[in-house]
């Protein structure tokens, strides 16, 4: 039984009332906390606590109110409302349904919204990947777009995308307790199966970035029909919610930003997490497969993938020379044996 007299007031001015209430109740799942205790901790009125609880209940949260107080059932909920992200709440723009978080983010960026904002959707009807390919946006997947305004030259934009790849891979590695790798130019893999992808769009002002959008799609609890893909659920992450995954990505993203790493350092980190580095690959056009020509890929070159440089270019060692390819121009396929390859870009 909680002794309310021994718990000191906890200031929660950086949290909204909904965020504060969820944080408190999740810290003691299945237990009832009195309105008086919660009001004392938040430095708010009991009426304010009650209104926040009523609002959460109306949105489907498994929150009970009885004579003992407020209790959040231990059943795992998985909402992406702004207050689910604590002090980051004011940075979030939430949609229950939209065509694409990239479209909504672009509108916000054009209106001058601050960098550091995140657009999330419970579901989207027209998600897309690289080269205009549709991204399957089944319920249970995580779909979001980060809006950033880095003080960088347009030539350095690939370092921002690579940094997000690293953040996603690092977060999933911690949550899944298994190795997660990045693949050029914009994918995240577990073994030979894709678990996430990054889509980048930017607007330039002169020779500098005005804003850059980083679309992130992660297979969390959704069904993945393509055998080349995989979800967190498939890998034993049944208890992982989209909220937990996104909070993990946010944490890793903020670490990278606070470290103020250079483009050269980001490339070095990316190369450390690449599972194709040092392997024989073939390079094919980026839009291959977009029109159903999966079996007619004209290979551009075959060589050893040496990694990426500070501009995000893939570096391939060929028979007589070393070539560099800009992100977006090609995809890399790992060679299985002489004359064949396996395509892991989709």
pLDDT tens digit string along 143-201? 999 999 999 999 999 999 999 999 999 999 999 999 999 999 999 999 999 999 999 99
What pLDDT shows up at residue 68?
93
**Domain 82-272 class, CATH top level:** alpha beta
- Collapse the DSSP code of 281 into the 3-class scheme (helix H, G, I; strand E, B; otherwise coil) and give the result: strand
Residue located via tokens 């231990």: 74
Strands 314-317 and 322-325, bridge-based pairing: antiparallel
Q: Give how far Cα 239 sits from Cα of 61, 79, 320, Å.
A: 17, 14, 51
DSSP 3-state of 101: helix
pTM of the model: 0.86
Using CA atoms, how far apart are residues 197 and 218, in angstroms rounded to an integer? Answer: 7
pLDDT at 128 (0 to 100) = 62
Is a pLDDT exceeding 70 seen at residue 342?
no
The stretch 11-27 carries a mean pLDDT of 83
Phi–psi pair at 271, nearest 5 degrees: -60, -35
Would you say the CATH fold of 280-342 matches that of 4-72?
no
Fold of 280-342: SH3 type barrels. (2.30.30)
More confident residue, 286 or 49: 49
| Range among 16-25, 278-287, 337-346 rated most confident | 16-25
Q: Tell me the angle at which helices 157-176 and 263-272 cross, rounded to the nearest 10 degrees.
A: 40
At how many degrees (to 10) do helices 17-27 and 35-42 cross? Answer: 120
> What would the pLDDT profile of 77-96 be if each residue is shown by its tens digit?
789 999 999 889 999 999 99
pLDDT for res 288: 54
Structure tokens at 229: 């893909």
CA torsion through residues 150, 80, 17, 7, sign: negative
In this predicted structure, the answer to whether residue 49 has a pLDDT above a threshold of 70 is yes
Architecture in CATH of 4-72: Orthogonal Bundle (1.10)
For the chain, domain boundaries: 4-72, 82-272, 280-342
How does pLDDT run across 315-337, given as a tens digit for each residue?
A: 999 988 999 998 877 888 888 75
**Alpha-carbon span 127 to 130, nearest angstrom:** 11
Q: How far is it, in rounded angstroms, from Cα 122 to Cα 98?
A: 8
pLDDT given for residue 73 in this prediction: 85
Model confidence at 218, pLDDT cuts 50, 70, 90, reads very high
Q: In sequence order, what DSSP letters do the residues of 42-64 get, joined into one string?
A: HTS-HHHHHHHHHHHHHTT--EE
Mean pLDDT of the chain: 87
For CA atoms 144, 149, 155, 156, the dihedral sign is negative
The answer on pLDDT for 11 being more than 70 is no
For 242-295, write each residue's pLDDT tens digit. 999 999 999 999 999 999 999 999 999 999 999 999 999 988 876 554 434 444
pLDDT digits (tens, 9 = 90+) for 105-152: 999 999 999 999 999 999 888 666 555 565 556 789 999 999 999 999
**Per-residue pLDDT, 331:** 82
Query: What order of strands is seen across the sheet that includes strand 322-325?
Result: 322-325, 314-317, 301-308, 280-285, 330-337, 340-342
Break the chain down into helix, strand, coil percent, rounded to 5: 30, 30, 40
Over residues 211-236, the mean pLDDT reads: 94
């Amino acid at each position: 039984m909680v002794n309310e007299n021994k718990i000191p007031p906890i200031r929660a001015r950086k949290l909204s009332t909904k965020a504060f209430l969820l944080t408190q109740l999740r810290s003691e799942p299945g237990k009832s906390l009195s309105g008086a205790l919660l009001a004392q901790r938040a430095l708010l009125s009991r009426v304010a606590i009650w209104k926040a609880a009523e609002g959460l209940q109306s949105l489907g949260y498994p929150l009970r109110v009885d004579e003992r107080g407020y209790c959040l059932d231990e059943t795992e909920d998985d909402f992406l409302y702004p207050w689910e992200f604590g002090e980051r709440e004011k940075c979030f723009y939430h949609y229950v349904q939209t065509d694409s978080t990239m479209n909504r983010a672009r509108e916000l960026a054009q209106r001058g919204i601050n960098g550091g904002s995140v657009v999330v959707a419970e579901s989207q009807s027209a998600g897309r990947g690289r080269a205009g390919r549709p991204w399957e946006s089944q319920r249970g997947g995580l779909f979001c777009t980060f809006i950033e305004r880095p003080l960088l030259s347009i030539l350095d934009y690939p370092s921002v995308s690579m940094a997000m790849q690293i953040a996603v891979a690092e977060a999933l590695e911690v949550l899944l307790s298994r190795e997660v790798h990045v693949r050029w130019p914009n994918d995240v893999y577990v073994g030979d199966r894709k678990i996430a992808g990054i889509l980048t769009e930017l607007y330039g002002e002169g020779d500098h970035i005005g804003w850059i959008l980083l679309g992130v799609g992660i297979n969390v609890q959704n069904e993945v029909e393509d055998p080349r893909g995989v979800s967190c659920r498939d890998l034993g992450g049944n208890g992982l919610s989209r909220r937990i995954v996104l909070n993990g990505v946010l944490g890793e993203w903020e670490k990278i930003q606070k470290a103020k790493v250079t483009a050269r350092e980001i490339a070095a980190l990316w190369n450390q997490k690449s599972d194709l580095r040092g392997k024989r690959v073939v390079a094919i056009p980026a839009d291959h497969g977009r029109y159903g020509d999966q079996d007619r890929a004209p290979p551009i070159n075959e060589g050893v993938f040496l990694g990426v440089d500070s501009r995000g270019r893939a570096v391939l060692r060929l028979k007589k020379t070393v070539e560099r390819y800009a992100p977006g121009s090609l995809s890399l396929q790992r060679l299985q044996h002489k004359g064949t390859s396996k395509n892991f870009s989709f």
